[in-house]
Amino acid sequence: MKRHALTKAITLATLLSAASLGAVAADIPLSAVVEADQISTKVVSVDAASRQVVLEGPEGRQVHVQLTEKAKNLDNLKVGDQVDVKVTHAVAAYLDTDVDKGLPGTIERTGEVRAAPGSANPGGEAYRQVQVQLKITHIDLKKNQVTLENPAGQSKTLDIERPEVQAKLKDLKVGQSVNVVYTDILTVTSKRGS
C-alpha cells in the first residue's frame, strides 16, 4: 500500500467510523475534526553511524533528530536534501446507543510504512490510533451538561454548546457509551536538493 493511500485510508476510517457503524449499531456521530501541519526542512548534516540528522526549518532554526534503527536508506540522505514532514491529527466522537455495553476502555493501534523497496530516498509513514470508550454517568438537560467516566474511573462534566448536539441530549441515557477515536499520522518524505 502506498504511503499516501495509507494516510487517506486511516483518516477516512477515523472520520467515517461513526457513520459506518451507525448503520449497524445505531451509533450517533457527535463530532469529527481533522488538522494537518506541514513543514519543509533542509538537511544540514547526516551522521549515519550514530543515526543523527540535523534539519533546518524555513526560519533557519536547526533541529537535531535522533533516528531509530527503523530508519532505512539513511546513507542516501545528503546535505542539502529537502525533507518534508506532515502531521495529521484527527478526532472523531460518536454515541453508542446500547446501554450498559460495558466498562469504559481503551484500544490502541500503531503501524508504519516505509519508502517503497528500491527507493533511494528515505521516508515513510507512521500512525497511532487510540479509541477510548467513555461511559455516560449523568445528564443535566437544563444545564446542557453530560458527565462521562473514563477508563481510569475519573469523571468529567462537559458543557454541550453545539445546538445540534444539545437537541440530542434528551435521547441520551445513563450507561450509554461515547467512543472517541484519536488518530495521528506522521509522514516523512525526502528528495534531492537542488
Q: How many domains does the chain have?
A: 1
125 in any annotated domain: yes
151 in any annotated domain: yes
- 117/143: higher pLDDT: 143
55 in any annotated domain: no
22 in any annotated domain: yes
- 165/85: higher pLDDT: 85
Q: Is the pLDDT of residue 132 over 80?
A: yes
72 in any annotated domain: no
Distances (CA, A) of 166 to 22, 119, 145, 169: 19, 52, 9, 5
Residue range(s) defining the domain that contains residue 106 = 3-38+85-191
pLDDT of residue 55: 93
Query: What is the overall mean pLDDT for the chain?
Result: 79
Q: Which residue is associated with the grid cell 467510523?
A: 17
Instruction: Report how far residue 165's alpha carbon sits from residue 95's, in angstroms, rounded to the nearest whole number.
Output: 11
The count of residues in the chain is: 194
pLDDT tens per residue across span 116-127:
566 667 788 888
56 in any annotated domain: no
- Roughly how many angstroms between the first and final C-alpha of the chain, as a whole number? 29
Q: Is the pLDDT of residue 17 over 90?
A: no
Q: Write phi, then psi, for 58 (nearest 5 degrees).
A: -65, -25
Confidence (pTM): 0.67
Type of residue numbered 84: D
Q: Is the pLDDT of residue 4 over 80?
A: no
